[in-house]
Amino acid sequence: MSKTDLSTLGKTPNTKFAVNVEMWWSDLPFIERIQKAAELGFPAIEFWGYEGKDLEAIKQKCDELGLEITQFTAWGFRPGMNDPANHDLFEQKIREACEVAKKLGVKLACVVGGDDQPGMTQEEMHQNIITALKRVAPIAEACDLTLILEPMNIRVDHKGHCLYGSTPAVRICREVNSSHVKINWDLYHMHISEGDLCGHLTEGFDQVGYIQLADHPGRHEPGTGEIYYPRVLQELARSGYRGYVGLECSPLNDPVEAAKRVAAADRWTL
């Protein structure tokens, strides 16, 4: 394909995709990965933690290329939000994330529940997550930053994590009851944890804050595994989702081929 043709791959007709530049072009310097995303025509990027990154350079490069930054990670696996001993630090990090989001022009920040805490039941850990999120919800609301809580899977990638599947995540977010605390609904994790992707999406759609995807097995792009993403993306649109879908997947081989497969998954009509 010519350079012009390549620049249209990410300009998909139905779904807006954001490339996860932690997993695509991971052998390149960070800023060069942003350039690569733009060269394939993608309208946005996402990344994990902001610590240690040159935020000014990231913002400058995205502005130069006309790319949005959809979300970054504000709070990771450890220390766990599911332990009250960490709630003071959690609040501190969310306040810090608000400043980072303001600098980058970002409206979403991912937070993670935490790995299993010795001596605590799953119910206790989930209640501690609710307590933590209720504490910071007013902070997020005041700075207009939506915290997106991400359930993982414990079968393949995150054994020993306390939050997996949509049911407990939906329950947690409904109990927190904030317009700025929703779910980072990663379809890869949900598929491994519970299946019935479209059914669960319908049941919990009121708590969807952001969508991510990867195929399974392998955590590569759509079209490399067993999930039929044209159907899932179609259902997502039918449900009313108009936000970005994060490509939190590693290209099976060449990123250009991965972008072609992503484009193929978006070929459907309502």
pLDDT single digits (tens) 91-115: 999 999 999 999 999 999 999 999 9
User: CA–CA separation, 252 vs 71, rounded Å?
Assistant: 24
Whether 259 is covered by a domain: the verdict is no
Which pTM value belongs to this model?
Answer: 0.97
**1, pLDDT greater than 70:** no
- The residue among 20, 43, 25, 33 whose CA lies nearest residue 253 is 25
CATH number at residue 166: 3.20.20.150
Whether 230 is covered by a domain: the verdict is no
* Count of CB atoms situated within 10 Å of the CB of 112: 24
C-alpha atoms less than 13 angstroms from C-alpha of 184 in its C-beta half-sphere: 31
Note whether 166 and 182 are within 8 A (CB).
Answer: no
Owning domain of residue 98: 15-113+122-223+236-254
* Span 225-259, pLDDT tens digits: 999 999 999 999 999 999 999 999 999 999 999 99
User: CA–CA separation, 184 vs 112, rounded Å?
Assistant: 10
DSSP 210-238: EEEE--TTTS--TTSSS--HHHHHHHHHH
How many structural domains does the chain have?
A: 1
